[in-house]
Amino acid sequence: MTGVRYPFAAPDGDTTREELVRSTAAKAAESAELRLRVLDGLGPALAACARAMAAAFRAGGTLLTFGNGGSSTDAQAVAQLFLTPGRGGRRLPAISLTGDSALLTALANDVHFDVVFARQLAALGRRGDIAVALSTSGGSANVLLGLEAARRAGMVTVGFAGSGGGRMAADALADHLFVVPSSSVHRVQEAQATLCHVLWELVQRAMDGAASDGAAPGGAGPRGTGGV
Has residue 113 been placed in a domain? yes
Has residue 222 been placed in a domain? no
Sequence-separated (6 or more) residues with CB below 8 Å from residue 26: none
What total of structural domains would you count in the chain? 1
Has residue 227 been placed in a domain? no
Q: How far apart are CA 166 and CA 173, in angstroms?
A: 11
Rounded to whole angstroms, the maximal C-alpha distance in the chain is 67
Has residue 143 been placed in a domain? yes
Domain that holds residue 166: 34-212
Q: How far apart are CA 228 and CA 222, in angstroms?
A: 9
The sign one gets for the Cα dihedral 195, 87, 60, 77 is positive
Alpha carbon dihedral 2, 26, 194, 183, in 10-degree steps, equals -70
Has residue 19 been placed in a domain? no
Has residue 10 been placed in a domain? no
Has residue 88 been placed in a domain? yes
pLDDT at site 42: 80
85-98 in b/e form (b: 16+ CB < 10 A) is eeeeebebbbbbbb
- Residue 23: exposed, middle, or buried by beta-carbon count in 10 A (0-12, 13-18, 19+)? middle
* pLDDT tens digits in sequence order for the chain, 228 residues long: 445 555 555 555 566 878 777 767 666 666 566 656 666 778 899 999 999 999 999 999 999 999 999 999 999 999 999 999 877 789 999 999 999 999 999 999 999 999 999 999 999 999 999 999 999 999 999 999 999 999 999 999 999 999 899 999 999 999 999 998 888 898 899 989 999 989 999 999 999 876 555 544 444 455 654 455
Has residue 129 been placed in a domain? yes
pLDDT at site 31: 56
Q: Are 130 and 155 in contact (CB under 8 A)?
A: yes
Strand order in the sheet with 156-162: 94-96, 63-67, 130-134, 156-162, 176-180
pLDDT at site 178: 95
Q: Assign residue 90 the CATH number of its domain.
A: 3.40.50.10490
Q: How far apart are CA 29 and CA 32, in angstroms?
A: 5
pLDDT at site 61: 98
